[in-house]
Every structure is written in structure tokens, then in C-alpha cells.
A and B are shown apart, each in its own frame.
Chain A
Amino acid sequence: TQLLEQSPQFLSIQEGENLTVYCNSSSVFSSLQWYRQEPGEGPVLLVTVVTGGEVKKLKRLTFQFGDARKDSSLHITAAQPGDTGLYLCAGAPTGRRALTFGSGTRLQVQP
């Protein structure tokens, strides 16, 4: 059983569409992070959310941390082919330094 479950697992959409990716857990996290990984590369950090209820915007990407700090979402507005990749949420369980990664959401944006 994954500590962090992401949905959907796969998403194929047309350029210009909006989408939301969810990251859920039964555990509380002091912070959650979102990474994007492209083929042949390591994951790259997009954002860290720290405060329950926090909303962060990064251009067309909006990240939200749940009030109870057990879940997070990533919303992409007007998706572009350059958004294609594997999106991963990650967090460190209480008392741990190492990150646990979510199950991942593979996004394909068709031109």
C-alpha cells in the first residue's frame, strides 16, 4: 500500500484543456512537494507546500495543500505539450528525513 496515492495514474488531454491531479494520504505531513520528471532525467522540484490550506501559483500551475495536511492537488490551466511528464507528490513521514514518493501521474498533452 502506497503512503501517498495519486490520481489519476494516466491522463491524456488536448492542448488548452485544464486538469487536476490529486495526492492523498491517511497520514499527516509537515510539508508536501511536487516534482515533474521528463524521460531520461531525474525529478525536478516544482513547489513545496507547508501550511494547511495553502495555495501556491506557479504560472499556469496551482498547488493546494489540504487543511488537514493529508492531501494536495495540482491544477494546470490551459495545458501545453511542454507540460507532458510524470508528476510526483512527495513528503517525509513524521520522524523521517527521507522523502516518500506518491504513485505518480503520467500526463500526456497532445498538440
Chain B
Amino acid sequence: SAVISQKPSRDICQRGTSLTIQCQVDSQVTMMFWYRQQPGQSLTLIATANQGSEATYESGFVIDKFPISRPNLTFSTLTVSNMSPEDSSIYLCSVLVRQNTGELFFGEGSRLTVL
């Protein structure tokens, strides 16, 4: 397992602004992922955060809207840019804990409300 700290845990933001979410892991991990969970929904993968290179985005998500940084093996950030009410979601950082089965460990998430 791993201890994952996400900041902020929740925030209320105004339309048109940007917010950066931080994810800190207590040990070095190979793979980190960012997921979005819209109200009442399941999890959707936004991107894989790659250490030292550009993130790999899933269909429907673009770097201009969700820039991601991963400067080292224990830290990543996700920015939600130019927010609209449709971006109101829980954003979850996760790390791969078992490579052969893909098991993930999650942070508690960052609940974002955009007014």
C-alpha cells in the first residue's frame, strides 16, 4: 500500500479560473494516474502522469484543459484550467501498487465545485 495525500481536499471556485491539485505519495511509484468522478458517477481516467515527460491523455481530455506535471516519482499535479460548472467533480490521484494485475491505491480525492 501507499499513503497518498491530495490537496486541496475540497474547493469552491469561480467560473473561468484555474485550480491546481497536488498529489504526494510517501514512496516512489512507477505509475501515477488521474481520474475524474462526476457527481453520482463512476471513475473516468483523465491521464497517466509520466515522470519527466508529458502525460498521456485519454480520449476526450487535452493538455490545455488538464495540464499535468510529474517532476519526480513521488509527486504530481493536475490543473483544471478555465473552469466551468461542468468541471465540478471529484478528482482522484492513484498509484499502481501491483504491476501484473494493475491494482491501484487511491488518494481521498479533491472535490471541486465550480460556480
Residues on A lying within 8 angstroms of B by beta carbon are 2, 30-31, 33, 40-45, 48, 50, 86, 88, 90-92, 97-104, 106
Contact = CB atoms under 8 A, between A and B. Distances in A.
A72 to B, nearest CB: 13
18 contacts: A33-B103, A40-B109, A42-B92, A42-B106, A43-B92, A45-B103, A48-B98, A48-B103, A86-B42, A97-B102, A98-B48, A98-B58, A100-B45, A101-B42, A101-B44, A102-B42, A103-B42, A104-B41
Sort chain B's interface into a size bin.
20 to 34
Contact of B48 (A91, A97, A104): A97
Contacts of B35: 101
Nearest to B30: A97
B106 A43 contact: yes
Contacts of A88: 42-43
Given A101-B42, A104-B41, A42 B102 contact: no
Given A97-B96, A98-B33, A98-B48, A45 B104 contact: yes
B87 interface: no
Contact of B108 (A31, A42, A98): A42
B108 to A, nearest CB: 5
Given A97-B31, A97-B48, A98-B48, A43 B102 contact: no
Contacts of B4: 42
A41 B101 contact: no
Nearest to B44: A101
Nearest to B40: A106
B29 to A, nearest CB: 12
Interface in B4-23: 4
A66 to B, nearest CB: 17
Nearest to B47: A98
Nearest to B109: A42
Given A42-B107, A97-B96, A92 B42 contact: no
Given A33-B102, A41-B108, A101-B35, 5 more contacts: A31-B102, A33-B101, A97-B96, A98-B102, A99-B33
